[in-house]
Amino acid sequence: MKKILSILTISCGLAFSTQAQQPGQIFKAAGTPANPKVAASWNRYYDHAGIGEICKKIAAAYPDLAKLESIGKSFEGRDLWCLTITNFKKGDEKKKPAMYIDGNIHSNEIQGAEFVLYTAWYLTESHADNAFIQELLEDKVFYLVPTINPDARDSYMHKANSASTPRSGVIPVDNDGDGSVNEDGFDDLDGDGNITLMRRKNPNGRWKLDPRDSRNMIQVGPDEKGDYELLGQEGIDNDGDGRVNEDGYTFEYDPNRDWGWGWQPNYIQNGAYKYPFSLPENRAIMEFVVKHPNIAAAQSYHNAGGMILRGPGGQEDVGTYNAQDVAVYDAIAKKGEEMIPGYKYLVVYKDLYSAYGGELDWFYAGRGIYTYSNELWTPFLMYMKEGTRDPFDNKTYEFDRYLLFKDAFVDWKEYNHPQYGKIEIGGFKKNFTRAHPGFLLESDAHRNMAFTIYHCYHTPKLLVSEVKEKDLGDGLKEITATVYNDRLMPTHSSQDVKNKIEVPDYISISTSAKVLAGMIVDNEDLNLSSEQTQSPQTIAVPNIPGLGTVTVRWIVQGNAKYTVSVESKKGGVAAKN
């Protein structure tokens, strides 16, 4: 028995040693947590249960830096997990400028969730030995929601799909009248979990095998005859309407057309549902944001194409994004282009297409929050040079051959189709062309995270930089205070100021002396000011500009000590005696 126990002890010790290294065995790589408390791999994707497990581990490992809550339920009842990351020992989180980040609003745009999770993991694991992260989490707070469409995420991962379908979610309906809803779904002919392509030999076809890689199909020229015809996506026409794989879904909604700014009905904006915020997930996000007026910056992750996007989604809103705010957007995004190779800074309506009722526009136009949407993954990352997202581009096949060892492709094979006869099915798996390969996932997650940290860093940071006294005689004093904003973003975007979305900033003097007058100093050199006749002790300031100052003044009677403080919903708090 003792011998058996000894063997078990040794075995257990060996098993344990394979799970974590001792500190003395590690030489730290720059910019990376060396021996994290939460062991998580960033070269793979997690379903909703996996996301929840990592969130819970982070919150348990770092109770002073991370709090986990469910901010709502999905259509099918899954939790919308939100991690709040800040140094809770250093001030009230709701009085710190906040950065909100979410991902995976579309079912097949999965890596956004991993990028959000990586951000939470990195901030908490790096806090102990990284002075920049320490200062950041003392001043700022992150609200991190990995997936805002968990139902569609799990459906995409666990059911048969292609890389591009379904895009979002589906309304459950009985489309073919057999008493069941969405039972047809996507027809996975070979049962491998991937919906690939179908081709059929045809002496008059317009496609032939690529001589450089026989897995690929290329179109023949106008004077050539091909060997194949492409029949489209793998599947069966269940109801005889000439289309495959649409029969389970009468209407596929787009949750990124459901937001309450510029919303248009489905006949104008394809994918819109009943009315703005008709989807429970989006409504939960909206309610969370409204309850957290300290959110000054936001980021949503999509795929693909390697883009840093800002609004507007429609040309009608060009005037909404005014010059002052665009200057802030430009400065941050241009730095992002340097930080994330291959990514381009673009404007949705101008450089892509019109999109109405999008999250991007609601956050900025509806709430005054500077917001980007990054389209993750770009073919540039394959060979570190410009590429194309064309699935028939030979570089994509070369990348799969030489760097993924053909792991991303389902080889063509014959299949006896009930409607098309003898065909072949094959093509790229659903985990490629839009989603990062594992070895590139962590690298791009880190770069995009760094961009959001830069964005968060430039939310307002207020300082009462100077307080001056002047004796006016007869027991009267003039107290002049200057509040400086040490970051790019103002405390209120121009959109916020124009529409009075958020309350003004308040600069107050706390003293037992009698405050006779309070005013905003418009020009200190010329002694020009605007008096606030009511409640002079607390002066309401419409905005404190980025990298700029606001000066206020009080006339007080009496010789008492005082404290000057400033409080801003998006700019935080500061004080000086």
pLDDT tens digits along 353-387:
999 999 999 999 999 999 999 999 999 999 998 87
Please state, rounded to an integer, the average pLDDT across all residues of the chain: 91
C-alpha 250/C-alpha 175 separation (Å) is 6
Burial 273-309 (b: 16+ CB within 10 A, else e): beebbebbbbebbbebbeebbbbbbbbbbbbbbbbbb
Task: Say how far residue 281 (Cα) sits from the centre of its chain.
Answer: 15
What mean pLDDT do residues 513-530 have? 96
Task: Give me the amino acid identity at 371.
Answer: T
**Is residue 143's pLDDT more than 70?**
yes
Lowest model confidence (mean pLDDT) among 178-182, 317-321, 355-359, 548-552? 178-182
Residue ranges covered by each domain of the chain: 54-155+254-379+437-457, 173-250+410-428, 462-576
Q: Which fold has domain 462-576?
A: Immunoglobulin-like (2.60.40)
What confidence score (pLDDT) does residue 164 get?
A: 85
Lowest model confidence (mean pLDDT) among 12-26, 248-262, 527-541? 12-26
Residue of 491, 469, 514 whose CA lies nearest to 573: 491
pLDDT tens digits along 485-494:
999 999 999 9
**Is residue 247's pLDDT more than 60?**
no
| Cβ neighbours, 10 Å, residue 49 | 10
C-alpha 109/C-alpha 300 separation (Å) is 11
**Is residue 63's pLDDT more than 50?**
yes
What mean pLDDT do residues 189-212 have? 94
What confidence score (pLDDT) does residue 185 get?
A: 58
**Is residue 12's pLDDT more than 50?**
no
pLDDT tens digits along 72-91:
999 999 999 999 999 999 99
C-alpha 211/C-alpha 317 separation (Å) is 49
Contact, 342 vs 305, CB < 8 A?
no
What confidence score (pLDDT) does residue 242 get?
A: 72
Two tokens, residue 191: 């049962």
What mean pLDDT do residues 226-240 have? 87
The residue with greater pLDDT, 215 or 11, is: 215
C-alpha 184/C-alpha 153 separation (Å) is 19
pLDDT tens digits along 459-508:
999 999 999 999 999 999 999 999 999 999 999 999 999 999 999 999 99
What confidence score (pLDDT) does residue 13 get?
A: 42
3-state secondary structure of 422: strand
What confidence score (pLDDT) does residue 14 get?
A: 41
What confidence score (pLDDT) does residue 176 get?
A: 47
Would the CA dihedral through 19, 25, 31, 35 be positive or negative?
Answer: positive
Which stretches does DSSP call E strand in 394-433? 409-417, 421-428
pTM for this entry:
0.93
220 — pLDDT class (breaks 50, 70, 90): very high
How much of the chain exceeds pLDDT 90, in percent?
83
CATH tag, 54-155+254-379+437-457 = 3.40.630.10
Which stretches does DSSP call E strand in 234-382? 252-253, 295-303, 307-310, 344-347, 370-376
The residue with greater pLDDT, 11 or 454, is: 454
What mean pLDDT do residues 273-291 have? 96
How much of the chain exceeds pLDDT 70, in percent?
92
The segment with the largest mean pLDDT, out of 212-221, 323-332, 394-403, is: 323-332
What mean pLDDT do residues 382-408 have? 89
Q: Point out which residues pair with 508 in neighbouring strands.
A: 538, 565
**Is residue 3's pLDDT more than 80?**
no
**Is residue 308's pLDDT more than 90?**
yes
Q: Which CA distances in Å does 302 have to 74, 168, 258, 279?
A: 19, 12, 16, 19
